[in-house]
Amino acid sequence: MKSAEKIDGFIDRELSRNIQSKRIIIAGFSQGGAVAYQVALSKKVQLGGLLAMSTYFATVDSIKLSEENKAIPIKIQHGIHDPVVPESLGQKATTQLVKLGYSVNYQNYPMEHAVCPQQIADISHWLREILS
């Protein structure tokens, strides 16, 4: 939660610098992804997107979801051979989010707890799509 508070403060600072909130994408890998879920889904200003990589939705039972981000573009990516955060946790987060009314784009890759070239290409495509 302390990490989420720091990221929330960073977002507020960028907003005060006249960065449009819809141009702010929250992304995280592994434990950083758990923080990203908390920040993006509870932020009371509309954000541009949420990218969660090889992670889990740690605060699903306690988060106070914001109405402002009910339609946030969400991309979840996971390695099918991940020994650190099993892919089942990424799939579980997807299911939980869909039950909460979110639209989620889920992708998996033949990798462990890592980032692969195809994933980077997919992220690039997604970012161009949501920021255009």
Q: Is position 82 annotated as part of the catalytic site?
A: yes
Catalytic residue among 3, 21, 42, 113: 113
DSSP state of 43: -
Contacts of the segment 86-89: beta carbons below 8 A, 24+ positions apart: 89/55, 89/56
Q: Is position 12 annotated as part of the catalytic site?
A: no
Q: What is the CA radius of gyration of the chain?
A: 14
Q: Is position 30 annotated as part of the catalytic site?
A: yes
Asked if 77 and 107 count as a contact pair (C-beta separation under 8 A), the reply is yes
Catalytic residue among 21, 30, 42, 66: 30
Q: How far apart are CA 73 and CA 49, in angstroms?
A: 5
The kind and range of the H/E element at 105 are: strand 104-109
Please list the active-site residues: 30, 82, 113
